[in-house]
Structure 1
């Protein structure tokens, strides 16, 4: 099968879409006879572009990324992309979170599979928009989203929350909308035996509560304030508990309580960064994500890979990834510091409960929430719908 993907994100760049494009397309490429990426976007300065591609080439080699042929389109040129699609003899075209494609997928002569973690209908009220949109811009975005969802032959979403929106908000037939779980954006992952052995000695007497995010000092309070308050409350009954926050820069340490440890952003672009992140997860006792806005936080899959119980707010598609009482606990958005602290305590105060949650968390990762299963699921759906029938 000759496959292609239409995207705005470089498949060799671990920073793109938090690494999700890198890992998702790796799995799709491995299951294709030939895989091409139609990458739309301005390359910018030629020298900077060359140096970036050189760096990404070595990243590709060091992280064992399969070779993906890339065709660059400086601008969204529908006519040129459709011609290239025909010339390349593509059998199936994936569209990865690129609904504003100027109708390319609607006019393509091959089957279209649209992959996303949300729809505009459910995310526009969840996230603050990166730049102010006029009402006309919002209508254009909504039009593009509707056209993409209705014209794709198959829509694959990372959660029931997003898939349900495609059906209820956009009128797509439920039989053409499927859920395919995402995985951990890490290459360094322990085996199940190691996770089981480590879980035997947890939770530690001085438990580490881990929160991983990304941002600067301007959004620090907004993103991690509830976590700091919850751990402060938890320390009334567990005075040795500590909160480790990873991923925020330029934060004034003087404003942070002494029970909070800070680490800057850790890049997944290198082996060293991958190893460092693995050690951070390995040393933690519980993963904490009291977020106010998220679709499918990949950090949840990463926490599962290391057998960490999870406590999170129930927003976006999180309820698919944190199953109440199975691998952790979820709380309503706006839950008080007392409620968040109580959920953390429920995980940490009983070793039997903790180990049950930890082992189930790892089991969920192995059975469904990993990129290999993502690739298998997508491949099965594609073959079931098109290739098996053609070969028969």
Structure 2
């Protein structure tokens, strides 16, 4: 099966969209597809779109260029030009932006983690939008869903939002979780060895995210503080960002760690291996690939239950979720109960790894994806 893989960015970039564009492409190739990339599309603003951005900025509103019809039509023309030379069996995109205005007879499939409607006033970057952008964004999403033969989402939350907010046939909406964006060849034997090496006298919490506020870094800090006050020595390791203020001595800040380098990959492996819990009390989250990455190490997660998180952090199987209203002490009590019972902790850790192996590897995703694609190509 020959696939035209359409992205606005360079799909070989491991840092673009947290590496998902690259891993999804690899997933298609692992399924046996011949993948031809169409990416690095040029965003072509004009005098009118530039004026609109400035105008709405003065009104303290956002005007999103990548939802402007003229920008989207320009993307479509760039894709259509390359499609003439590729002649694929189908068009595949990890998003709706580059395919919404396509004029083509080839089947279209997309696999993403959210809808435009789901993002509005949910993520900070989609807050304060002008009405023109909201109308254009919803129109774009509707067109993409209407054109697509399959609309695949990474979580139940995103799929339900698509059906509830847009006129789309539920039969073509599917749920397929993403895999972990790190190499994982660990076996059950490896996980057992990691568990045997853990020291339960000090709790190590791993916070991993580039956005301190949206990912709930302040809550994670207060959870660690509460655990220390309960008498359990606790260390909070922060990866991916810098807290916006001074932090207590029990916080270790590593900053951004690149997966592009061998050194960065080794450091991440060590942090995930030695931690007792991944903690991510996100205020907004479409999916959370890091939960799959944690489970690949047999590392339980504690998190909020917002957005797409419950699909990947499953209560009692990979960890525990909490409501956005739950105080840090609720997280702390749960964590301490497991730290006080290593046997229960081990059972949960093994369950997390088993769940990862069955549901959150790219190999599993590639097999399921191939079955879906064969229904339309």
Task: Please indicate the TM-score interval, normalised by the length of the shorter structure.
Answer: 0.7 to 0.9
Match of 2:281 among 290, 304, 311: 290
After superposition, the C-alpha distances for 1:239-281 in whole angstroms (9 at most, x for unaligned) are: 31211111113755xx211111111110011222112111110
Match of 1:81 among 73, 79, 82: 79
Distance 1:3 1:101, change over 3 A: closer
After superposition, the C-alpha distances for 1:108-163 in whole angstroms (9 at most, x for unaligned) are: 21111111101112221210126853211111011101111122000110011111
Matches within 5 A, 1:365-376: 365-376=356-367
Contact 2:73/2:101, CA 8 A, preserved across alignment: no
* Superposition deviation, residue 79 in structure 1: 3.6
Contact 1:200/1:355, CA 8 A, preserved across alignment: no
Distance 1:203 1:108 in 2: 58
Distance 1:102 1:326, change over 3 A: closer
TM-score by structure 1 length?
A: 0.84
Contact 1:102/1:144, CA 8 A, preserved across alignment: yes
Q: Structure 1 residues 230-239 or 318-327, which shifts more?
A: 230-239
Contact 2:180/2:361, CA 8 A, preserved across alignment: yes
Q: Structure 1 residues 26-35 or 110-119, which shifts more?
A: 26-35
Match in the other structure for 2:67: none
Distance 1:43 1:192 in 2: 47
Q: Gapped runs of 5+ residues in structure 1?
A: 45-72, 388-392
Match in the other structure for 1:270: 261
After superposition, the C-alpha distances for 1:160-195 in whole angstroms (9 at most, x for unaligned) are: 111111112113222111111111111255332111
Matches within 5 A, 1:309-324: 309-324=300-315
1:233 and 2:226 equivalent? yes
Contact 1:2/1:32, CA 8 A, preserved across alignment: no
Q: Structure 1 residues 115-124 or 26-35, which shifts more?
A: 26-35
1:157 and 2:150 equivalent? no
1:124 and 2:114 equivalent? no
Match in the other structure for 2:91: 93
Match in the other structure for 2:134: 138
Distance 1:174 1:109, change over 3 A: same
Distance 1:257 1:187, change over 3 A: same
Compute the RMSD of aligned alpha carbons: 2.4
Distance 1:231 1:370 in 2: 30
Match of 1:211 among 202, 207, 213: 207
Distance 2:154 2:214 in 1: 28
Match in the other structure for 1:51: none
* Superposition deviation, residue 231 in structure 1: 1.3
Match in the other structure for 2:48: none
Distance 1:137 1:227, change over 3 A: same
Match in the other structure for 2:336: 345
* Superposition deviation, residue 294 in structure 1: 0.6
Distance 1:207 1:113, change over 3 A: same
Q: Structure 1 residues 123-132 or 239-248, which shifts more?
A: 123-132
Match in the other structure for 1:177: 173
Q: Secondary structure at the match of 2:124?
A: coil
Match in the other structure for 1:356: 347
Contact 1:367/1:373, CA 8 A, preserved across alignment: yes
After superposition, the C-alpha distances for 1:12-41 in whole angstroms (9 at most, x for unaligned) are: 111100111111111112334531111143
Distance 1:188 1:321, change over 3 A: closer
Distance 1:231 1:35 in 2: 46
* Superposition deviation, residue 202 in structure 1: 3.6
Q: Secondary structure at the match of 1:76?
A: helix
* Superposition deviation, residue 77 in structure 1: 4.5
Query: 4+ runs of 1 displaced by more than 4 Å?
Result: 219-222
Distance 1:330 1:223, change over 3 A: closer
TM-score by structure 2 length?
A: 0.87
Q: Gapped runs of 5+ residues in structure 2?
A: 45-70
Matches within 5 A, 1:246-261: 246-249=239-242, 255-261=246-252
* Superposition deviation, residue 282 in structure 1: 0.7
